[in-house]
Homo-oligomer: A and B are copies of this chain.
């Protein structure tokens, strides 16, 4: 599933490594939100990945979520509010600080994680079939080395 790239000469070339990393990430991410919509979770849109991806099991403060997702606190708060309205997350009192609130996945939010885990396994199987397990392992290894070299 490839994305239409902008028609441009003004910036990074398409062979730019950042774009080579971004495109397969986006392809997988697109599949996640299509699958969620098909399973009745159409209210969870791509932007809300910025909440789900960065939630700790025990709950996370909005300011910390915002930092992890590189967003302003206000933008993160508005994503959290949408997910709270639709019963995917709840706000609980931080057990280590009675004045602070943590955002935590509800049961319905945990259903989202379960659907994603299932899809990740499917994608993995597809890639093993398409690329082969050896190339996939090689790719994983190189990506870890890349992250260390950056």
Interface residues in chain A, defined as those with a beta carbon under 8 Å from any beta carbon in chain B: 1-4, 6-12, 15-18, 20-31, 33, 45-47, 52-58, 60, 68, 70-72, 75, 105, 110, 113, 116-117, 120, 123-124, 126-127, 130-131, 135-136, 138-140, 142-150
Contacts and interface: CB of A to CB of B under 8 A. Distances in A.
Contacts of A7: 56-58
A63 to B, nearest CB: 14
Identical chains in the assembly: 2
B68 A12 contact: no
B27 A150 contact: yes
Contact of A54 (B6, B46, B142, B144): B6
B150 A17 contact: no
Nearest to A4: B68
7 contacts: A2-B147, A4-B68, A8-B56, A24-B143, A33-B70, A127-B150, A142-B142
